[in-house]
């Protein structure tokens, strides 16, 4: 295994683990209604819960997008590592 191939494999492992952490983080986003000052409020008002859901989906979606990008980096670097290893012989 060449040095370049090893470095790419290491990059793939690190970015893959980071992506997994971001997927986990996205799955842990809670739905909580807040008032304008940022304090959590107990409420049965459907509009408040819909707004809370929108905020939750936005945050989870952004985190999922970041995780997808890091996953793509991990896959690309793993592929480059394999190609580099194959051609270094």
Q: For residue 46, what pLDDT is reported? A: 82
Q: How confident is the model at residue 88 (pLDDT cuts 50, 70, 90)?
A: confident
pTM of the complete model: 0.77
Q: Is the pLDDT of residue 74 over 90?
A: yes
Domain boundaries, the chain: 3-32+41-87
Residue whose C-alpha is closest to residue 11's, from 86, 64, 83, 73: 73
Angle, CA of 27, 43 and 59, to the nearest 5°: 25
List residues bridging with 40 in a β-sheet.
34
Both tokens of 1, joined, read 């295994």
- For the stretch 22-54, pLDDT in tens is 999 999 988 877 655 666 667 777 887 888 889
């Amino acid at each position: 295994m060449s040095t370049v191939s090893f470095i790419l494999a290491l990059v793939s492992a690190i970015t893959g683990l980071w992506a997994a952490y971001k997927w986990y983080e996205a799955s842990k986003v809670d739905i909580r209604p807040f008032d304008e000052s940022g304090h959590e409020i107990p409420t049965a008002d459907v509009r408040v819960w819909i707004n809370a859901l929108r905020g939750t989906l936005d945050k989870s979606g952004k985190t999922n997008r970041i995780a997808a990008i890091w996953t793509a980096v991990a896959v690309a670097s793993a592929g480059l590592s394999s190609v580099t290893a194959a051609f270094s012989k």
